[in-house]
Amino acid sequence: MCEAKKIVIISDSTGKTAKRLMDAVLGHYSQKDVEYSLVNIYHQVRKKETLEGVLKEIDDESLVIFSIISEDLSQYLRQQLSERGILHLNILEPMLSTISKFLGTHPDYRPGILQIIDDKYYQKVDAIGYSAEHDDGRGHLIEEADVVLLGLSRTCKTPISMYLACNFGIQVANIPIVPDATMQENLLTKLAPLKQDIIFGLMMQPEVLAHVREERSLILARTTASRLEIEKYSDLSEIYSELRFCRNLFRKKGWQTIDVTRRAIEEISLEILGKLGHGQ
Domains defined along the chain, listed by start: 5-117 (3.40.50), 120-276 (3.40.50)
Question: What is the SS3 assignment for 66?
Answer: strand
pLDDT, position 224: 59
3 Cβ contact list (under 8 Å, min separation 6): 35
Q: Which of 74, 68, 77, 85 minimizes the C-alpha distance to 122?
A: 68
pLDDT, position 16: 82
- Is the pLDDT score of 170 beyond 70? yes
For the stretch 58-73, pLDDT in tens is: 999 999 999 888 888 9
Q: Output the CA–CA distances (angstroms, integers) from residue 51 to 43, 82, 90, 111, 125, in the order listed.
A: 10, 15, 15, 18, 23
For the stretch 195-239, pLDDT in tens is: 999 999 999 999 999 999 988 877 766 665 566 677 788 899 999
Confidence (pTM): 0.61
pLDDT, position 111: 41
φ/ψ bin of 44: left (φ > 0), alpha (ψ from -120 to 50), beta (otherwise)? left
Residue 15 one-letter amino acid: G
Backbone angles phi, psi at 41, to 5 degrees: -120, 115
Which sign does the torsion angle of CA 115, 119, 120, 126 carry?
positive
Spatial separation of the C-alpha atoms in residues 258 and 267, rounded to whole Å: 11
Q: Which residue has the higher pLDDT, 248 or 123?
A: 248
- Is the pLDDT score of 257 beyond 90? yes
pLDDT, position 104: 85
Spatial separation of the C-alpha atoms in residues 61 and 231, rounded to whole Å: 60
Arithmetic mean of pLDDT over the chain = 88
Neighbouring C-beta atoms of residue 147, cutoff 10 Å = 24
Q: Which of 108, 127, 123 minimizes the C-alpha distance to 165?
A: 127
pLDDT band at 190 (very low <50, low <70, confident <90, very high): very high
